[in-house]
Amino acid sequence: MSRYDPAVIEPKWQEAWDGAGVFLARCDPSRPKFYVLEMFPYPSGRIHMGHVRNYTMGDVVARFKAAMGHSVLHPMGWDAFGMPAENAAMERGGHPKDWTYSNIADMRAQMKPLGLSIDWSREFATCDPEYYGQQQAMFLDMLEAGLIYRKAAVVNWDPVDMTVLANEQVIDGRGWRSGAVVERRELTQWFFRISDYSAELLEALDGLTHWPEKVRLMQANWIGKSRGLQFAFDTVGAPEGFESLEVYTTRPDTLMGAGFAAISPDHPLAKALENDPGVAAFLAECRRGGTSAEDVETAEKIGFDTGIRVKHPLDPSWELPVWIANFILMDYGTGAIFGCPAHDQRDFEFATKYGLAILPVFVTEAAGEAGLTEAFVPMKSERVRYLRGFAGAELQTGEEAVSAAIAACEARGIGQGVTKYRLRDWGLSRQRYWGCPIPVVHCGACGVVPEAKANLPVRLPEDVSFDVPGNPLDRHPTWRDTPCPRCGAAARRETDTMDTFVDSSWYYARFTAPHAATPTVAEDVDYWMNVDQYIGGVEHAILHLLYSRFFARSMARTGHLPQKPSSRSTRFSRKAWSRTRFTGRTTPRGGRSITCPTISCASTSATSRWLSCASITRRTCRS
């Protein structure tokens, strides 16, 4: 044996492995299988040490399992759609496609010398028409199954990038990339009905015993189950059609501390009042700034007294003012609340600012009633003394009091107990070029018509330019023109593309039959699914995994994954983490923001994604 010279031996053995096809994954029912997956990278063009670490971890497991007699699937691909490619095209010229595929070639060339036991014959990029065409086919199946719908929705509009931003892309009311003040606009958008699965996605977390507890908790918080009372106030002086006002509260035990009622600026009642110039001006002010819970919470609380009043359900002689308040979200609960300033910090600040009544409902077990300098918000499990209770014992915990209040209200015919989730439907429309085209056609006669499967993939046109902001698909001279798949008349293609999170929500299933003419093949998913070991950054602990779990269910429902018992319906059984750290500091509000995320370890995905996850981390920590 001569001197240790890796430059000589490493290429030699890599050729030997390739030549013998050692890492080709074989569907071999006589052997147990093992599916190892690292979160596939965004093709930024450069491999960093975090990638090396993640892929080596996966490789150690893959090689070990192979030696233990398993048939191993260890694939690699590219999460290749998304804004950075368009930004590069805008800044430096060129085409997003060329930029992306050239980056992929560079990264593959950097990755191959690592000697990873990857089955490269299964490689794909999500921007390959063979991949996104199958995604379009699945979209059509999900549309038919009622898992996708269209609705007008208030969205975050970035006036510089000319695109809708996800809530997570709005940071302190500004676009995460452009820094422009985000506007609220109403647009017709496509949505996945993920909220229909809130309960199931939450309950199934209990079965994911191999997942880190922290991740399960983050997901549970994100889904945000709550039990509360939904009831209607009778209104006084409201326009016709608004004789009652539905509200939802998780703290019906504090009803006797009501100081006001408030509605979202997007509430139908607010819109009905918009011909009043004062209301109109106020609503215009509210429309500046993002729509996310995050933005709504950090924005200054402002309100407008409508002059309308509502009758307290427990005492009709007691009237409360109805305000429009910018911190009420239309798509949570009913978009209307009753405010209890003594026991909700937001309501407290609002009441203090506008001189509204602050009535303590309960105090600590020992104390008597005293003036409040801030809202008294003990844990719901803490026992407190009710001064203005109306149900249950004088001394009880918040939880007991809530249950007692719901029961008492139901008995008196005041509303009913309901369970709600914070998880909202997943808006998938993006006004962007470099994404998977949404395969529908708008026909003057037939309306919105799904593209025929025979016409898939709906390919992105290549002759586009990025010299002006906005979506090049919108201004392409011919791409939009297509016959209606139903009546054959001249019609227009949908120009929105899909959120890139869609691409990464099912790629793990596609790796089991990456070149098939259908999204998946029963025999292959039967053998290879689930992923036995999934490796990636904790920054993807919420959205990516939640969306993937939703997709696993949707794909089972549309026949693209086998129906499995619930314990197997989740597609990841174990997860290892590389940690992502965020550093920086917060100073009082105002002016421009800079974000300082530090990814000290593997972040195997798009910049946009880990920026967006950063805000999730912050939000989750708080809740």
Partner 1 sequence: MAFLRVDHTTDLSELNEDQLQALLLETAGTPIEIIPSAKMSKSKKNVVDPKDIIAAYGADTARWFVMSDSPPERDVEWTSAGAEAAFRHLGRVWTLSSRIGDMPADHQGEGDDDLRRAVARAVQDVTQGIESFAFNKAIAKLYEFTSTLSKATASTPVMKEAMRTLAQLMQPMTPHIAEEVWAYQGGVGLCAQAPWPKADPALLVEDRVTLPIQINGKRRAEISVPKDMVAAEVEKIALSDEAVVRFLAGQPVRKIIVVPGRIINVVV
**Footprint (CB under 8 A) of partner 1, residues 159-188:** 171-172
Which among 436, 482, 477 is positioned nearest to 459, based on CA atoms? Answer: 436
Size of the chain, expressed as the number of residues it contains = 623
- Min separation Cβ 579 and partner 1, Å: 6
- Pick the piece of the chain touching partner 1 (CB under 8 A) from 190-198, 443-451, 516-524, 572-580: 572-580
Among 24, 49, 393, 445, binds partner 1 (CB under 8 A): 49
Rounded Cα distance between 214 and 370, Å, is 39
Three-state DSSP class for residue 337: strand
- Min separation Cβ 298 and partner 1, Å: 9
Q: Which of 296/359 has CB closer to partner 1?
A: 296
Q: Which amino acid is at 127?
A: C
Among 32, 445, 618, 623, binds partner 1 (CB under 8 A): 618
- Pick the piece of the chain touching partner 1 (CB under 8 A) from 193-201, 365-373, 495-503, 588-596: 588-596
Q: Which of 100/495 has CB closer to partner 1?
A: 100
- Min separation Cβ 617 and partner 1, Å: 5
1 binds partner 1 (CB under 8 A): yes
CB contact set of 3 (below 8 Å; sequence gap of 6+): none
Pairing of strands 225-236, 416-421: antiparallel
53 binds partner 1 (CB under 8 A): yes
Among 136, 509, 582, 605, binds partner 1 (CB under 8 A): 582
576 binds partner 1 (CB under 8 A): yes
Q: Which of 454/594 has CB closer to partner 1?
A: 594
CB neighbour class for 580 (10 Å; exposed up to 12, middle 13-18, buried from 19): buried
- Pick the piece of the chain touching partner 1 (CB under 8 A) from 12-20, 252-260, 269-277, 381-389: 12-20
Rounded Cα distance between 133 and 332, Å, is 35
Among 241, 454, 591, 622, binds partner 1 (CB under 8 A): 591
Contact 581, 614 (CB under 8 A): no
620 binds partner 1 (CB under 8 A): no
Which among 180, 190, 215, 23 is positioned nearest to 114, based on CA atoms? Answer: 23
CB neighbour class for 47 (10 Å; exposed up to 12, middle 13-18, buried from 19): middle
CB neighbour class for 305 (10 Å; exposed up to 12, middle 13-18, buried from 19): middle
Among 367, 566, 584, 623, binds partner 1 (CB under 8 A): 584
52 binds partner 1 (CB under 8 A): yes
Which among 125, 56, 122 is positioned nearest to 85, based on CA atoms? Answer: 125
Alpha-carbon torsion 148, 149, 150, 154, what sign?
negative
445 binds partner 1 (CB under 8 A): no
Q: Which of 121/419 has CB closer to partner 1?
A: 121
Which among 623, 393, 502 is positioned nearest to 138, based on CA atoms? Answer: 502
Among 210, 453, 475, 579, binds partner 1 (CB under 8 A): 579
Among 14, 352, 482, 573, binds partner 1 (CB under 8 A): 14
Among 32, 113, 447, 488, binds partner 1 (CB under 8 A): 113
- Min separation Cβ 302 and partner 1, Å: 19
31 binds partner 1 (CB under 8 A): no
Which residues, numbered 531-550, are part of the site for partner 1 (CB under 8 A)? Answer: 535
Among 29, 69, 93, 483, binds partner 1 (CB under 8 A): 69
- Min separation Cβ 17 and partner 1, Å: 6
Q: What is the distance of C-alpha 403 from the center of its chain?
A: 31
Rounded Cα distance between 52 and 46, Å, is 11
Which residues, numbered 180-239, are part of the site for partner 1 (CB under 8 A)? Answer: none
522 binds partner 1 (CB under 8 A): no
Among 27, 48, 242, 480, binds partner 1 (CB under 8 A): 48
Q: What is the distance of C-alpha 421 from the center of its chain?
A: 14
Q: Which of 50/259 has CB closer to partner 1?
A: 50
**Per-residue interface string for the shown chain with partner 1, residues 93-112, x marking contact by CB under 8 A:** -----------------x--
CB contact set of 601 (below 8 Å; sequence gap of 6+): 50, 53, 537, 578, 579, 580, 581
Q: Which of 475/579 has CB closer to partner 1?
A: 579
Contact 398, 381 (CB under 8 A): yes
Q: The tokens of 247 are what?
A: 């509200």
Report whether the peptide linkage leading into residue 167 is cis, meaning its omega lies within 30 degrees of zero. Answer: no
